[in-house]
């Protein structure tokens, strides 16, 4: 059941009070016609009895669980929400011997953690979620399901790491939150995501991604907070507070900070989903720098941590993937840093699996020749609590029945995972209200904050002869490349079909990348950060035809000295609609760029090659420094 959260009410009430749209904010409704547990059963088992304390309920539940039921808890698997609020029965999920779908994962394999990996309407997601909970009620122990999600409040849509926002409020990628340097905004951002997640039944956020981007080519930079560990630390603290509240409860979404100990120092920036990106290199001896945000996350009470796929090169640790690395998971995370929460592995450490119709190898980097069973044992021995993206319960059962792993080892992790469900209130409040979900998700207030943040995060890198903001006067003609000129016409502006006929040109770009290898790998933005010769020639032709305002999506720090030189003005953004761009260009309603770069922008690919992967701010003679960002020194309205 969706209820507004008391612990955040001050923040929301003060925000709502400031909002001219406050009257339009839908109040979540309490409806009575939703399914609920029959609590009139006088023989209610102790663990199902809300009047008992959590530790007693946990003891009771654990004492009843079979080995199979315990094994099921130790896995979290990605599944799609089905059509029209139904449970999907078409997507095949192989378990090594059989082809399964969602339902048998719950009723036969006894899984109760999933991440939903597609987008449906808010109502349908809520209805689907309730169907999933109904299925769980059919199992012997009726353990409620926990639904998780990769980030889904921005633009990026990358299999395995982010989902485009759909009906959810649309913000810039988290880099844009970092560009605004405002922990209060960061907490509001997480609060809005939390409210929308709660409404559809998502109770676990596979974020914040707090990898520090010390290697400019790092493929997953877009969902980080940039290059500065301290800024990232301040952001993660604010986000954890927004998601979880002061302590985990009925209105919380638990967080998974990732990817420990920081996936920034990837060799060549290649992504660690793939063998070509399996190494994190620490030749600058900067491992401690990457730990700064994780220490902050632990101190802030972040519930879960996900180790990186990569393996460390150039440290005292064994050169095996972090999820298998006992000196890192048990030694560093738990014993040195004192983390007591859940460690969930990244997805697919054990089993080779088809992604976009191509078999991708298990990410057992440094352990490629081990068997699946050996991998499962190493992950458990390392101290990981839960296997992401896997359903191989039979491997764990076999490890226990053959005496290789004591059942008490499973109990340690099962207890933590079930405690989280109790704390989230899932045993006692497992259903959500689809009507309320429809009203909460993407409501006018939340969407407006998202839209505003897209505009505010705009980072003005150059503004030659004070070109901006533009003031369209009668007869001024515009030419658009990289977006549809109908956006200009809709504003009553005159457009032309050739640059030479225009008074001003617009060019909207994305940071270059190289699409390499398998279809899955091609989704990850690796490789060079500069435009090639033919692209540069085409840009120059435009710049020579008319004064051009360039807008580039910075999901990594682009290498664009020639654009900085030749464009009339240059903006960076981190996920923004065309309308957001034009509002900033024309200073509509006073919108102006407020963002400051969350990383250095290198001046050449030679400088990129020469910097050291784990060292921040070491690119020689950067084009723009971390923190750069101009303001308008006049407005469109006056002077």
Ligand X SMILES: *[C@@H]1O[C@H](CO)[C@@H](O)[C@H](O)[C@H]1NC(C)=O
Check binding of 43 to ligand X (CB under 6 A): yes
CA distance 429 to 413: 23
Question: Which residue has 């899955």 as its token pair?
Answer: 520
Q: Which segments within 563-602 are labelled E, that is strand?
A: 569-573
Q: Which of 150, 271, 346, 555 is an active site residue? A: 346
CB atoms within 10 A of CB 408: 8
Check binding of 498 to ligand X (CB under 6 A): no
User: What minimum distance in Å lies between the beta carbon of 2 and ligand X?
Assistant: 20
CA distance 593 to 585: 9
Of the ranges 36-44, 69-77, 129-137, 542-550, which one interacts with ligand X (CB under 6 A)? 36-44
Of 113 and 267, nearer to ligand X (C-beta) is 267
CA distance 469 to 586: 5
Of 368 and 411, nearer to ligand X (C-beta) is 368
Of 417 and 576, nearer to ligand X (C-beta) is 576
- How many whole angstroms from its chain centre is CA 303? 16
User: What minimum distance in Å lies between the beta carbon of 413 and ligand X?
Assistant: 25
User: Which strand (E) or helix (H) includes residue 243?
Assistant: helix 229-244
Q: Which of 498, 535, 565, 635 binds ligand X (CB under 6 A)?
A: 535
Of 448 and 477, nearer to ligand X (C-beta) is 448
User: What minimum distance in Å lies between the beta carbon of 111 and ligand X?
Assistant: 19
Check binding of 276 to ligand X (CB under 6 A): yes
Of 255 and 268, nearer to ligand X (C-beta) is 268
User: What minimum distance in Å lies between the beta carbon of 403 and ligand X?
Assistant: 27
User: Which strand (E) or helix (H) includes residue 523?
Assistant: none
User: What minimum distance in Å lies between the beta carbon of 620 and ligand X?
Assistant: 18
- Helices in 3-155 by DSSP H: which ranges? 9-18, 54-64, 67-73, 102-107, 122-137
Check binding of 22 to ligand X (CB under 6 A): no
Question: Which residue has 């290697």 as its token pair?
Answer: 215
User: Which strand (E) or helix (H) includes residue 519?
Assistant: helix 519-522
**Cβ density class 162-175: b for 16+ within 10 Å, e for less:** bbebbbbbbbbbbb
Of the ranges 35-43, 201-209, 389-397, 427-435, which one interacts with ligand X (CB under 6 A)? 35-43
Question: Which residue has 């109040």 as its token pair?
Answer: 27
Binding mask 79-118 for ligand X (x = CB under 6 A): ----xx-x--x--x-x---xx-------------------
Q: Kindly give the pairing relationship between strand 386-388 and strand 75-79.
A: parallel
User: What minimum distance in Å lies between the beta carbon of 392 and ligand X?
Assistant: 15
Check binding of 38 to ligand X (CB under 6 A): yes
Of the ranges 64-72, 447-455, 500-508, 555-563, which one interacts with ligand X (CB under 6 A)? 447-455
Do residues 54 and 367 make contact, with C-beta atoms less than 8 angstroms apart? no
Query: Restricting to residues 327-386, which ones interact with ligand X according to CB under 6 A?
Result: 366, 368-369
User: What minimum distance in Å lies between the beta carbon of 465 and ligand X?
Assistant: 8
C-alpha separations of 376 from 339, 347, 366, 556, 590 in Å: 22, 13, 15, 34, 56
Q: Which of 10, 27, 41, 473 binds ligand X (CB under 6 A)?
A: 41
Check binding of 137 to ligand X (CB under 6 A): no
Active site residue 157: no
User: Which strand (E) or helix (H) includes residue 375?
Assistant: helix 372-382
CA distance 523 to 159: 7
User: What minimum distance in Å lies between the beta carbon of 40 and ligand X?
Assistant: 4
Of 47 and 347, nearer to ligand X (C-beta) is 47
Of the ranges 33-41, 52-60, 111-119, 323-331, which one interacts with ligand X (CB under 6 A)? 33-41
Of the ranges 307-315, 356-364, 442-450, 562-570, which one interacts with ligand X (CB under 6 A)? 442-450
| 2 phi-psi bin (left φ>0, alpha ψ -120 to 50, beta other) | beta
Do residues 103 and 87 make contact, with C-beta atoms less than 8 angstroms apart? yes
Do residues 240 and 208 make contact, with C-beta atoms less than 8 angstroms apart? yes
Of 477 and 516, nearer to ligand X (C-beta) is 516
Cα dihedral value 397, 402, 403, 404, nearest 10: -80
Q: Which of 234, 270, 413, 548 binds ligand X (CB under 6 A)?
A: 270
Inter-axis angle of helices 444-456 and 578-585, nearest 10: 60
# residues contacting ligand X (CB under 6 A): 38
Q: Which of 357, 473, 534, 631 binds ligand X (CB under 6 A)?
A: 534
CA distance 571 to 161: 26
Q: Which of 14, 138, 634, 635 binds ligand X (CB under 6 A)?
A: 634
Q: Kindly give the pairing relationship between strand 569-573 and strand 459-463.
A: antiparallel
Tell whether the torsion through CA atoms of 28, 30, 32 and 38 is positive or negative: positive
Do residues 1 and 433 make contact, with C-beta atoms less than 8 angstroms apart? yes
Do residues 172 and 221 make contact, with C-beta atoms less than 8 angstroms apart? no
Query: Restricting to residues 216-255, which ones interact with ligand X according to CB under 6 A?
Result: 230
Check binding of 522 to ligand X (CB under 6 A): no
CA distance 135 to 144: 9
User: What minimum distance in Å lies between the beta carbon of 120 and ligand X?
Assistant: 11
Check binding of 10 to ligand X (CB under 6 A): no
Of 442 and 472, nearer to ligand X (C-beta) is 442
User: What minimum distance in Å lies between the beta carbon of 94 and ligand X?
Assistant: 6
CA neighbours within 13 Å on the CB side: how many for 13?
A: 7
Q: Which of 3, 36, 371, 466 binds ligand X (CB under 6 A)?
A: 466
Check binding of 451 to ligand X (CB under 6 A): yes
Q: Which of 33, 63, 533, 631 binds ligand X (CB under 6 A)?
A: 533
The residues that are catalytic are 346
Which residues sit at the interface with ligand X, rule CB under 6 A?
Answer: 38, 40-43, 45, 83-84, 86, 89, 92, 94, 98-99, 230, 267-268, 270, 276, 366, 368-369, 444, 447-448, 451, 466, 484, 486, 516, 532-535, 577, 579, 633-634
């Amino acid at each position: 059941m969706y209820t507004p959260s008391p612990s955040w009410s001050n923040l929301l009430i003060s925000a709502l009070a400031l909002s001219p749209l406050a009257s339009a904010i839908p109040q979540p409704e309490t409806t009575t016609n939703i399914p609920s547990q029959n609590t009139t059963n006088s023989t209610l088992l102790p663990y199902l009895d809300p009047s008992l304390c959590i530790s007693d309920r946990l003891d009771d539940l654990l004492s009843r669980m079979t080995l199979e039921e315990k094994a099921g808890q130790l896995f979290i698997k990605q599944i799609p929400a089905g059509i029209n609020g139904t449970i999907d029965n078409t997507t095949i999920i192989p378990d090594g011997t059989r082809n399964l779908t969602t339902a048998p994962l719950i009723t036969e394999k006894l899984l109760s953690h999933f991440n939903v990996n597609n987008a449906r309407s808010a109502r349908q997601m809520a209805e689907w979620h309730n169907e999933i909970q109904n299925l769980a009620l059919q199992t012997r122990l009726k353990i409620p399901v926990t639904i998780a999600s990769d980030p889904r409040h921005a633009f990026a849509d990358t299999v395995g790491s982010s989902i485009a926002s759909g009906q959810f409020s649309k913000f810039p990628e988290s880099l844009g939150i970092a560009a605004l340097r405002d922990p209060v905004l960061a907490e509001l951002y997480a609060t809005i995501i939390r409210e929308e997640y709660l409404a559809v039944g998502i109770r676990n956020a596979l974020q914040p991604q707090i990898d520090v981007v010390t290697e400019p080519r790092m493929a997953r930079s877009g969902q980080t907070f940039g290059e500065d560990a301290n800024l990232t630390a301040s952001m993660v603290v604010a986000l954890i507070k927004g998601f979880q509240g002061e302590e985990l409860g009925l209105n919380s979404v638990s967080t998974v900070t990732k990817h420990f100990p920081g996936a920034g120092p990837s060799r060549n920036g290649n992504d660690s989903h793939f063998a070509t990106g399996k190494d994190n290199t620490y030749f600058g001896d900067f491992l401690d720098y990457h730990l700064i945000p994780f220490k902050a996350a632990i101190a802030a009470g972040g519930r879960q941590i996900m180790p990186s796929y990569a393996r460390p090169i150039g440290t005292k640790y064994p050169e095996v993937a972090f999820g298998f690395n006992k000196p890192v998971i048990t030694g560093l995370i738990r014993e040195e840093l004192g983390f007591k929460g859940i460690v969930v592995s990244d997805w697919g450490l054990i089993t080779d699996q088809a992604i976009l119709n191509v078999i991708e190898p298990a990410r057992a980097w440094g352990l490629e020749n081990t068997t699946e069973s050996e991998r499962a044992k190493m992950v458990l021995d390392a101290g990981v609590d839960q296997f992401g993206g896997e359903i191989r319960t039979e491997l764990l059962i076999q490890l226990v029945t053959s005496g290789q792993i004591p059942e008490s080892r499973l109990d340690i992790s099962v207890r933590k995972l079930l405690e989280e469900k109790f704390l989230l209130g899932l045993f006692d409040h497992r259903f959500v209200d689809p009507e309320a979900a429809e009203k909460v998700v993407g409501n006018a207030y939340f969407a407006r904050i998202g839209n505003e943040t897209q505009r505010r995060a705009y980072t003005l890198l150059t503004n030659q002869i004070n070109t901006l903001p533009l003031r369209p006067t009668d007869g001024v003609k515009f030419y658009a490349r990289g977006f549809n000129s109908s956006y200009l016409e809709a504003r009553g502006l005159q457009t032309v079909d050739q640059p030479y006929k225009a008074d001003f040109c617009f060019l909207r770009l994305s940071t270059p990348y190289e699409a390499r290898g398998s279809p899955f790998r091609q989704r990850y933005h690796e490789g060079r950060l500069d435009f090639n010769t033919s692209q540069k020639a085409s840009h120059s032709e435009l710049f020579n035809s008319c004064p051009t305002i360039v807008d580039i999506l910075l999901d990594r720090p682009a290498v664009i000295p020639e654009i900085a030189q030749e464009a009339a003005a240059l903006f960076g953004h981190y996920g923004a609609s065309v309308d957001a761009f034009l509002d900033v260009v024309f200073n509509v309603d006073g919108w102006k760029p407020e963002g400051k770069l969350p990383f250095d922008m290198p001046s050449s690919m030679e400088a990129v090659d020469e910097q050291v992967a784990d060292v921040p701010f070491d690119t020689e003679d950067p084009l723009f420094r971390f923190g750069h960002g101009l303001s308008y020194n006049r407005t469109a309205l006056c002077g």
